[in-house]
Amino acid sequence: MKKMNMLVALFVVLLCSSFTLGKGKGKNKDVYMAGVSASFSDSLIFFTDIQLVDSVELDKDKLLPERQQYSTQLKRFLEGLGMKNRTCFIYFDTNRKKLEKTIRKMKEEYQEGGRSILRQVDADFKFKKAIIYNPDAEE
């Protein structure tokens, strides 16, 4: 039950972090991203490094387009390492310091009571820019 509560808390943090993105003008801002992976079947929690993803534009609501593609990238990478049935979350912000603070708080929560084992995802893993699907575009 505790794992379920932790995953729900992660989801809430994801939603909250998506609304606190940079408030500056212009669409072309650096976007920093980190991934977190958890499973209901074990206590391993994986974290990626915070990465700058080139050429990413946030949408009009300051949300990261095609977020699911980034979580799928992390999921497939971990599956390649034999880590099956993992739930992957993506955290992003235009302010690296804010994202670092969010990730640091999450790690502290997971470390409380020794319930979880934190692991760093191999530094070879890099997020690739998502392909934006536009159904209105001409082929």
- Chain segment 46-71, per-residue pLDDT in tens: 999 999 987 788 888 989 888 899 99
Whose tokens are 């990238």? That residue is: 73
| pLDDT tens digits, one per residue of 74-84 | 999 999 999 99
Q: In the numeric block, which tokens belong to residue 47?
A: 């974290």
* Alpha helices (H) along the chain: 2-18, 67-80, 96-111
Query: What residue type is assigned to position 110 of the chain?
Result: Y
CB 96 within 8 A of CB 21: no
Domain chopping of the chain, boundaries: 2-120
Higher-pLDDT residue of 127, 136: 127
What is the predicted pLDDT for the residue at 21?
44
CB 93 within 8 A of CB 21: yes
Specify the DSSP class assigned to residue 24: -
